[in-house]
A and B are shown apart, each in its own frame.
Chain A
Amino acid sequence: MKRTNQLNRREFLAAAGAAVSMPYLIPSGVLAAPGRIGANERITMAHIGVGGRGGGLLREIKRFREAGVVNIAAVCDVDENRLARAVKEAGAGVEPYHDYRYILQRKDIDAVVIGTPDHWHGVQMVHSAECGKHIYLEKPACCTIEEGKAMVAAAKKNRVSVQVGSQGRSQPEAYLAHRYLVNGNIGHISRVDCFHYPSPEDNNPVPDSDPPPELDWDMWLGPLRWRPYNRRYCPGSFRWFLESGGGQIRDRGAHVMSCAMWWMGADGTGPVSVEATGTAPTKGLYDSAVLMDVTYTFKNPDWVLTWRQMPKDQLPPAEQRRPDELNRKIRKISRPGYGAIYLGDKGEFIHWGGDGGTWAERKARQWEPPAGAKDVYESPGHMEDWFNGIKTGKKTIMNIEAAVGVANLCILGNLSYILGRKLEWNQARQEIVGDEQARRMMYRPQRHPYHL
């Protein structure tokens, strides 16, 4: 490959010297064609948000570093204890940061992995794109409709590769399920019923207090309106607040409904109406619906998607898998509490999970495609698919447009629940129709300076 901006020896040594002292790395793009990282070159990464799921992503990326695919240049967190742990995890040569914007200023960093709480996703993704970084973003993509629009626009304008962490699409059994369904094995599918166990309740409420010294509460809140610290907000429990995580429908809906949109060929489409009901927690700080029923009506083609958070004893039982069926790709169902039932005019199909664990019903796993059967894209792995996107410009399997489409379903479901009424949605214009209050809630003003 001809490299138009290859470094000469003197420049290389100067850069290497700087890397030792600063310790910055040579941006991969310098060694490749302009604007593109070479096929065999390491991608230089930084991690923003390294606790909880963000910590899991760091450990995952470390495996790619060991395989020679990436470098890890920096880690960032607003919790100093978590940051210190991440530095140890990532090892020597990795620079710690409290403020992610230092990372965005570094020209040597090609890509960022964002594993922060959901209310930061939109802002950090847009900022990263504006600084030319490729992005792996934990799901759900966004918390409001307008955030989603800004994210799609930022990725397009800055031509960065974005992969959103609805990794169910990249699982081996997701491929088998997809292939089974698109070949008409259950006929024309007119309904997909997603099921999930309830969102938790805060059964031990505590009063507001001072934040712990290691936590920068102001920056944890970021774009959210200010409120006093309460131990129930974090870590992890941000998921159970409508403003940040949005409850199970946004947390796992971004997985299960992601599979549904992918397998139904519905990416880029949206419902015409959304109607939700739910059961609110009776006490405590959490406010997302405990039980929930949401109906999304799609037109042209006509189909119905439902999301139901139900009592655990009403969940469909998990398929029992025989030991002889299990191998490296086909595993036991370890999270049977969520998934979806696909209803066709010739039969039904069920899958469990939808995230890092996606399990397809036996008939899809055992189906042998006849000659002439349609095949579907088989992801090499969610991260690998993203790396391909970075290096080739190819759209990722959970690209930002698709991810925002799925997040919008979750957002609209919650909005209908919050407002207690059915909402009409115009997919082409990406807006709610005929409801002034709901339209205002498509957007949430953000605190200065943590804004889109």
Chain B
Amino acid sequence: MSMNNIKKVSLAAAAAGVMSGVAGAARKKAVDELMAGIRDDSDKVRAEAWLGAGEVGAAAVKPLAKVMSNKDIEVARAAKRGLWKIVRHAGRPGAGNEKRAVVGKLVELLGDEQPVPVRREVLWMLSEIGNRRSIKLIAALLSNRDLREDARMALQRIPSKGAIAALRAGLKAAPEDFKLNIAQSLRQRGVKVRGLPCVKLVPTKKTNVKPL
């Protein structure tokens, strides 16, 4: 490569770096502003923040998830609603890259270090925009007693053969008290399940109220 070409490449790389740095700085500013709004004392400011969260996108997923556990229930709620806005915005037609970026951040929130309510909410977000890459991580939660029912329902909603395969595998590994649940999901997805009857019409709960 000639000196001129090396200079050109270096200049281009520097320019890209500057551009990337500028974009990164703009993203950080948007996230900081969003989070400041979410934590504000005023419900109107908080609402304005979460309503505008959609366009901030993937960069705000983890900061918002962190605030979902805030002890102020209204701040926590604003963070949750902001996260949902991002999911609904990223899921729009023609926004494949944004959606993948958001899904990538969401699946990172499924780990044990996150509180159960956050992971439960994330499972439902993934039920709307989750892709093949998220299936394995969701399926891993079929063995988590706190989250398995939500994980099952999230897989049920993701329209891919991979989700059905994950449910089938989950059924094999499931303890007896959860097999019927997974069988329900498989049936809903059109899979015949033998030996695990549907119990939806079987009554179980008695009343203490007496007739006159």
Binds A, one of B1-9, B14-22, B195-203: B195-203
Q: In the complex, are the beta carbons of B51 and A280 less than 8 A apart?
A: yes
Q: How far is the CA of A123 from the CA of B157 in the complex (A)?
A: 18
On whether A101 and B211 interact (CB within 8 A), knowing A420-B89, A451-B184, the answer reads no
Contact with B along A416-452 (1 / 0, CB 8 A): 0011110000000000001111001101111111110
Q: How far is the CA of A127 from the CA of B203 in the complex (A)?
A: 12
Q: In the complex, are the beta carbons of B43 and A282 less than 8 A apart?
A: yes
In the assembled complex, which residues on chain A have CB atoms less than 8 Å from the CB atom of B137?
none
Q: How far is the CA of A269 from the CA of B212 in the complex (A)?
A: 48
Cβ distance B24 to chain A, nearest Cβ, rounded Å: 26
Q: Does B205 contact A (CB under 8 A)?
A: yes
In the assembled complex, which residues on chain B have CB atoms less than 8 Å from the CB atom of A100?
203
Q: How far is the CA of A358 from the CA of B156 in the complex (A)?
A: 42
Q: In the complex, are the beta carbons of B207 and A437 less than 8 A apart?
A: no
On whether A419 and B92 interact (CB within 8 A), knowing A440-B159, A443-B157, A445-B185, the answer reads yes
Q: In the complex, are the beta carbons of A283 and B46 less than 8 A apart?
A: yes
Name the residue among A97, A436, A450 with the largest chain B CB count within 10 angstroms: A436
Q: In the complex, are the beta carbons of A437 and B149 less than 8 A apart?
A: no
Cβ distance A372 to chain B, nearest Cβ, rounded Å: 51
Cβ distance B39 to chain A, nearest Cβ, rounded Å: 14
On whether A80 and B207 interact (CB within 8 A), knowing A419-B92, A449-B199, the answer reads yes
Cβ distance B133 to chain A, nearest Cβ, rounded Å: 15
Q: In the complex, are the beta carbons of A437 and B129 less than 8 A apart?
A: yes
Chain A residue at smallest Cβ distance from B47: A282
Give B150-170 interface residues, CB cut-off 8 Å to A. Answer: 150, 152-154, 156-159
Q: How far is the CA of A193 from the CA of B153 in the complex (A)?
A: 38
A interface: dominant SS: loop
Chain A residue at smallest Cβ distance from B183: A448
Q: In the complex, are the beta carbons of A437 and B212 less than 8 A apart?
A: no
Chain A residue at smallest Cβ distance from B124: A225
Q: How far is the CA of A225 from the CA of B38 in the complex (A)?
A: 26
Cβ distance B187 to chain A, nearest Cβ, rounded Å: 9
Contact with B along A79-102 (1 / 0, CB 8 A): 010011001100111111111111
In the assembled complex, which residues on chain A have CB atoms less than 8 Å from the CB atom of B156?
445
User: Which of B51, B74, B157, B209 is within 8 Å of A205, CB to CB?
Assistant: B74
Q: Does A12 contact B (CB under 8 A)?
A: no
Q: In the complex, are the beta carbons of A219 and B205 less than 8 A apart?
A: yes
In the assembled complex, which residues on chain B have CB atoms less than 8 Å from the CB atom of A104?
201, 203
In the assembled complex, which residues on chain B have CB atoms less than 8 Å from the CB atom of A449?
180, 184, 199-200, 202
User: Which of A80, A225, A226, A441 is within 8 Å of B208, CB to CB?
Assistant: A80
In the assembled complex, which residues on chain A have CB atoms less than 8 Å from the CB atom of B47?
280-283
On whether A448 and B207 interact (CB within 8 A), knowing A282-B46, A283-B47, A440-B159, the answer reads no
Cβ distance A222 to chain B, nearest Cβ, rounded Å: 11
In the assembled complex, which residues on chain B have CB atoms less than 8 Å from the CB atom of A448?
149, 152, 180-181, 184
Q: How far is the CA of A434 from the CA of B206 in the complex (A)?
A: 47
Cβ distance A325 to chain B, nearest Cβ, rounded Å: 45
Q: In the complex, are the beta carbons of B88 and A418 less than 8 A apart?
A: yes
Chain A residue at smallest Cβ distance from B156: A445
Q: Does B91 contact A (CB under 8 A)?
A: yes
Q: Does B145 contact A (CB under 8 A)?
A: no
Give A203-244 interface residues, CB cut-off 8 Å to B. Answer: 205, 207, 216, 219, 225-226
In the assembled complex, which residues on chain A have CB atoms less than 8 Å from the CB atom of B202?
101, 449
Q: In the complex, are the beta carbons of B124 and A96 less than 8 A apart?
A: no
Q: Does A381 contact B (CB under 8 A)?
A: no
In the assembled complex, which residues on chain A have CB atoms less than 8 Å from the CB atom of B92?
419, 421, 435, 437
Q: Does A105 contact B (CB under 8 A)?
A: yes
Cβ distance A279 to chain B, nearest Cβ, rounded Å: 9
In the assembled complex, which residues on chain B have CB atoms less than 8 Å from the CB atom of A385?
none
Contact with B along A257-293 (1 / 0, CB 8 A): 0000000000000000000000011111101000000
Q: How far is the CA of A154 from the CA of B185 in the complex (A)?
A: 19
Chain B residue at smallest Cβ distance from A92: B212
Interface residues of B (CB under 8 A from A): 43-44, 46-47, 51, 54, 73-74, 77, 81, 88-89, 91-93, 120, 124, 127-129, 149-150, 152-154, 156-159, 180-181, 184-185, 188, 199-212
